[in-house]
Structures are given as structure tokens and as C-alpha cells.
Chains A and B, each alone.
Chain A
Amino acid sequence: MFYFSSIINTPVHDKDNELIGRLRDMAIESDKGHKYPPLVGILVKKNKSNEEIFISTNKIAAWSSDSIVLKVTADSAVEQTPNGTTVFLGKNVLDRQIVDLSGVRVVRVNDLQFGQVHSAMSLLAIDVSAAGLLRRIGFRQSMLGFIKPNLLEWHSVHIIGDKLQLATGRDELVRLHPADIANLVEKMNVKQGSQFLRSLDQATAAKVMEEVSPHIQKMMVRHLGAERASMILEKMSMDELVDLIQLLPSVESREIIDKLPAQKDVNRVKKILEYDEDTAGGLMATEFISAHLETQVSEVIEKIRRDSHQHRSIHFVYVTDDKKKYLGVASLRRLIVADPKQKIKEIMKRTKRTPVVNEEQSVREIANIITKYNLLSVAVVDKSGRLLGVVTVDDIMRHLVPNA
């Protein structure tokens, strides 16, 4: 096992013990999905010249920090410097800022650790500790035992803002909760953050954007520009989208609304924009599953199956009459327990037993109602009793605890 700091500038000899030059850099293949990516080659600066040559790892007989010895002669060692997916560690990884996906933090690569894995010299870990720093300025590892090592594995980091767009860490990244990814984005600067966001798929990016704090949301949208921002925003849920648009000055918000695709009902956005931010109208989501009172339970369940992908979460089905007047609510539990041939009006909870709010009621009032009646969400109706939207308990929580 050795460190990048100890092997850099090590003399490289061929099999006749002839000095070729000194080690300048080492390369791995990034996209093979190895847990410990094997080294594919080294870059050597030739003795008494400025030429740098690439030597593949299978020509190396022995590694040590005193000398690297090849199996072949100097002339037959040289190869074409590969490109494409090859990552030169010294040039592209060392000293860069990385996202530690397991610790959800932004740190810097101080040193790299190598060792034999299945008889191939491989990158074992990325060192982000102070010991790594001290090794770089000439301290020996043996003197640094008192510092707690801080080693990360290659597949659990993501290199920030690199043009190479290293594929590493992608799988690990999407496994994180969007709220955690949002925390990471908040720790980067605007440029890094928006680059990071763009490297995610649109749906994930939208979920992350919803979780980012409003102040940073605003800067990101500006930095991305209306065109690119709207590609992410279109996947956001209506109420979050409206909140974000409300933050922007009118010129910019109009630009964004113009860019949103047709299926995002722009009129609805504009309508919600008219409500005050801390009233039911401003908080509510306008995406929910509703059903006519005469619908059969089996049809409702079929509808949920069909439209499920459009909704963040589905806990209730809202029941209305011919005139869209709100009548009651049926929980998923009731739907599952019920006989599929029953009509939904037979199993729903009627409005008399479940309170509703009107669009002008304040966050405080809604919070009181939700707490008092132990609700997960509450329906918002207008004066004539028509269903407008739904306020869920997380909309309320986000409003009351904005900086989580």
C-alpha cells in the first residue's frame, strides 16, 4: 500500500535497471464500475527531456516509493496516451473539490491511497484528512498516526464541476434523498450547484430544487436562465413551482411561465399566484386525484394505477358531484378494504365529519385544524363549495420550519 504523495516523482527504471524518468501521474478507467478501480497506466516524464510518456500497468514489475521497475526495456514500454474514459488522478482528481456522498458534505482531495486488489494495483481510497495534507508537504505516514484518517471510496464521491463529467458516484447519488442532495447543492456555489443539478435527470433535479432554500433557488434559476430553468421547473409540483415563481421579479417570472410547456396549466399557475403566500390558496397543491361520487371503487383504483406517476404521493381520493362540489374523502385504506363493486360515495368520509378550509384561511388556522383532527391533509374549497386544492401536512411544516 502506498500514497500518491509518496510515489509521485519516484524514479522509473526499465528491466535493465536503466533510468527512464520520473513518475508524474497515474491513470484509472472511470466507468467500469469497479469498487476499487485498477490503475491502467502511469505518466512518466523522461529523464533530461520534457517529454511525457504513457506506460501501461501490465508492463510494471514492481511498485515501491523508492523505484518503479518495468518488465520490459524502455523502448518497448511506450504507448499511445489513451483518452476518453481514462482519468488522470493527479491532473483531474487530486486537489479538486468533491462531494462525499456518504457524509453529505463538500471536501477536497488531499491524497490518494493505492494497494493490490486481486493482484492489480488499484485506487483504494481518497484521503480528505489533514494527515493527507501533511503527507503532501513531506511528513511521513509513520509520524501522522495520531490524526484520524478520513478515507472515502471512489464510488461514493462525486467530483464537482468537472468537464469530464465523471460517471462515478452517479448511482450512489440518485440513492440519496432529494433533501440531502439539496443540502449538498446549498454547500456549493451557484455555478457548481447549477452544474450539479443539470447532471441529474430532470425529475430528480426538480425534487432537489423543491428542497433547496428559497434564497438559493432564486439565484440558481437566474444562473440557469429561463430556458434551462424551465426544463427543471416543469417537473416540480404546482404549489412548489408557484412558490418559486413568486420569489422572482415579474419580468423574470413571466419569462419562465412563457417557457413552461403547454401541459403545465399556466392559467392555474397564474391563478394561484393571486393568492397570498401564507393562506390556504397559496399553500395548496392543485394536483390530486378526484372521483365522481357514483364511480366504482375498482375504477378509482384503476385510475390511481394509471395516474400514479404524476403524483408525488397519494393518500386520499377526493369525491365530488356533477358540479365539482366537494363531498368527502376516501383514504387508500378504505379503498383497499372496500368491495371493488361498491360506489365510492358509500365508503367516503363525509364533509360533516372531515373539516375543510377556504382559500383565504391562514397557515396558523390550517395547522390548528390539522392538529386538532389528526389529519394528513385538508381540502380547500371556494365559497360555493367547489374543490380547489389540497394542503398537506408537509406544506405546513415547510412553511413553519423553513430552514430544515
Chain B
Amino acid sequence: MLNVFKKNKGEITPALMKNTIESEFNAEFYAEKYTFLETNDHLSHFVTEGWKEGLDPCEWFSTSKYIQAYPDVAASGINPFFHYLYYGKAEGRNEGLVGISGDASLRSLVKTSNQADEDYHSSKYFKEASNILGTELEFTTEQFERFANWTKVVPKATGPHPNVKAFLDSASATGSGCEAITSGWIIRKKDSFVWFETNQGQILPMRSAFFQYRQDVYDAFEDEMTEALPLTGFVQALTACNPGTLLRIYALSSEGAHEVAQCNVERIDSAPKKLAEFLASINTPLSELPKRITKIDEPLITSAIAQKNKAIAAMPHEVYSFGETTAPGASIIIPLYGRVDFVEAQMQCFSQDIFVQNHCELIYVIDDPSLVEPFKKLSSDIYALYGIPFKVVWGGLNRGFSGANNLGVEYATAHYLLFLNSDAFPTNPGWVEQLTDVLNSNSDYGVVSPRLLFADGSIQHAGMEFVYRNELSIWVNHHPNMGIDPTLDPHSEPTIVPAVTGACMLMTRSLFDSIGGWDNGYLIGDFEDSDLCFKIREKGKHCIYVPTVDLTHLERQSFNLTGAPDFRTKVVIYNATRHQNKWSSLLKQSVSNG
């Protein structure tokens, strides 16, 4: 017997074949697609001849693709659609499916007995489960633990569940044992009891997942949606789940626990950015994303970042310097990421500024492994030509904007800290003294920041505000007066604003230390400056915009190099969510408050 028939399912009769095909055959589709057919009995045509000509029985199955993918089926001479329905589906032979997100194909992914489970509510298991978890969606950790223990005594039932249908799109784990994530969809009723089970025995009730609307599931199961819970998509974070194991979903019936879905756990990279990229690839409507992030993504990424930061703390630093600044008044900290060719252009500005040359300590923090080698040559060329002392610090790996700035501070010795982007160019000498003068003019001032101009001379930064983006449910940074002529700037004097830019900001070392420095829990450089500003405001100090000092900022030149725009958007949402979870009250006070 050919191996295509290896599963013993009894004798295959023409009637069985026809009946099996009939259950999924779409005569309307067949007639519309193959208008050349002269018969009215489309089913018989497909069963006898149509499949041999490569015609498709319905919109979700491709006869030719199936035959191409499974030569054993082709060799056996069996009707491919029958083979799929009778054997292939259970064997996971899904290559003949077309439009996997199309409604009909989702149905083909799941099995149910479609029988009423009349004894469900009176069953022992239902009562026990209800006693532990209740039928409401609210729950406590303690309930979870009891539930997990209880599931161990529930017998495994054979056969499909009467009505719960679930599918796991993916399950992935970093292998650290801490970060794992799964996503999929489920059709269940409000009183269904469903849980995840890892093969290491972790049990998590489905209720703890993040749920979201799935149009494709709705389209495929519209007939069942009157009774089912409306949010069918889920994303769940798991622990005790390692790559290479199996993740299962069980659903309770009057007979016990039915396995309704299973999936292999894949390995994903544990680097925070890679993990974030993976999380970004799991689709969630953007307006719902902040909720998901709070519940699922943030704990996972925080855990990954914490591990990375532990590794970072152990990393040796490479430091070299050219010349020496004695008793500097201000330490200028310049992180380098993506490109180094701005350094010389900035040095050309410093070379016209006696104060910077004599009283400032320049600290370049390399935050990009690919820049380490090129900067060795460039830095010595630049020192030979300009003769302005500076220090170079390389922290062994990419630490992000916050981490790089914090590293720079470790090597700073001056009273003032001036954080400066490498693509910000002072338009006139004297800018550092002017900024320190403003900072010293009022003891309530915490951080001062100049006006930044685009290359074309229009305003880029004149203080930052926050606006609520309703479609994304997040507070984002807003740059007021961006793009206007600086002569039209409504401010001409130092002004208290909700926050200032991290591209150029000056504060005292003692204030910096008292707020614990830059928060390195954000992903890829966003919201870190406003976070720092909020920490300063929490101390009762103000953020000051100084319109009398101008720098040209070739903004975003160094950020363009990270990821795709779609990922970028999700990173902004991630960071914004983290930011607003931290600072919700200050954010609400910050609306156009300057």
C-alpha cells in the first residue's frame, strides 16, 4: 500500500470520496470560474474529470499546488482534494491552501465536533473550574495558581472539542527561560475554560492573554460570532517555555480537557531590538497596541533590556584621549552612532570658539561597533589638524542614546554636563557661556536647551510639548513652531517649557546624579530626553528653552539608519507607552503649558 494511504481509515469507496468532497465543494465557485463547462453537475465533474485538468473545487484549495507540493499524492492517482480532506489536513499538508487569511482557509485549520455539549454546565469539571476562576473575566494570581493545579487532575479527552476552535499562529522563546510569546486566535464562549500548557508544565489560563479583534477570524466564522466572545485574536507572554518544545491549548468540555491547538516553539533572538522586531511583526491594530504593550510587550522587553544591561555593566571600556583640558567648566558629551563624518564639521565650529577649546572637556562616546575602527584614524587626523583636546570612550557595544550618554558622564569631570548630538552645529562662538549664564540666572532652572534650526534655517526645536494622538492612544512629543522663520519665534527670552530636546541640553552634574541619569529602558532612542526632563521636573526644577542661542541641527540623520518605517512607528508607540505609563500625571499638565 502506498504511503499516502498509510492511515488505516477503512475502504475508500467512490461514495465516500464523493461525500467527503461534497462537504467542502463550492459548486457556485466552480461554475463561475469554469464557465466553459457544459454540465450542471459540477460536483461529479470535479470528482471524475475536473481535478485531472487541475480545476479547483473551491476558493481556498489549489489542486495543482497540492499535486506539485506532494508528488506521492500525484503518483497515487487519487483525487487531491479528497486526499487533503481525508488525510492531508490531519497530516499538516497545507501547501494546497490558498489565501491563508481568506475566510474559508481558516476553517480548514481547526477541527470541532460541532455537537452541542449539553452536559457542560452540569458537569463536574465546569463547576470546579467556575469555583476557582468564576465566569467573569477578572481574576487574581492566586486564582491562576489554583486553576493551574486543578487542570492537572482534569482527564484529557479524545476527539475535537464540541465548539471551541483555536489556532496558534506562532510561539517563540528566547531560550533564556524568561521571554516567550505566542499569538493566534480562538473562538470561544464567555463560559469556556481554556488554557495554555507548555511541556514544562506551565499552565496559564487563556483569560490572562491580550485579546484583539481579528477581521479574518470574524469573516471565516461569522455564523458563530453571535455566541462567541468578539475579540478572537490573542497575544500571550509565557515563561517556562523553551525553544524546541510544544505549546498546547486545552479547552474544557463535559468530558475533560481537549487539545484544541498546538505549535512548536521557535527560537528568537534575546537582544531587545530583535525581540522588539519580533513583537512588532505580530499584528495588532495600532490603536490597541499601547494596551498590548503595557500587558505583554513591556514586561518582555524590560526583561530583555535588564539582561542586556547586566551584560553591559560587565563590559570593559576602551578610552583614549588627545591632549588634556585642565579644570574644565563643562563636559560636552557627544554620542556617535551611524556615522562619524559630522565630527569634523562640528570641530570646525569648536575651532572658532575659545571657550570650548579652553574650558570644555569634549567626550565622544562611540555607540556603534562599526565606528570604532574608522574613528581611530579619523580622531587622530582631526586632532592633528585642529589641536583641540578630546576624549574617546567606547563601551564595547551599542548602548542606545541613554546608555551612551550615561557612559560619557562616567568620564566627565566638570560641574556642568552638556549633552550634544554630533549633528548639532553651534552657529556662533560663546554658546556654552550663554547657556550656563541662563542656567545660573535662576536657582529653579534645571535644564537649559537652545533653539535648533534646520539646515534651511527654519526652526526645528523651540521647546517640546506633548500632544495626545487619539488614533494611537499615546502622548507624543510635539515641536511647536517647527518650520517657521526664527524671527517669528514667539519667544525672545529664556522660557519655561514642558520639556527640551536631548540634541543639546545643559544641566549641572549634581542634578544629573540626583535624578539617576538617563533612563536606558527605552528602545532605540526616543522619549529619553522628555523622560529626563520629567525627572528634573519631579525634583521641582524647570526645563528652559533659550531662544537666544542657535545651533543648526541636521536632525534625524543618525536615526534614519534604524529599521524599517513600520518598525520605527511601532518603536515610537512602544516608547510612548512606556513613557506615559511612567509620567501620566506630568504629561497631562504639560499640554501647551509653556
Are both chains from one complex?
no
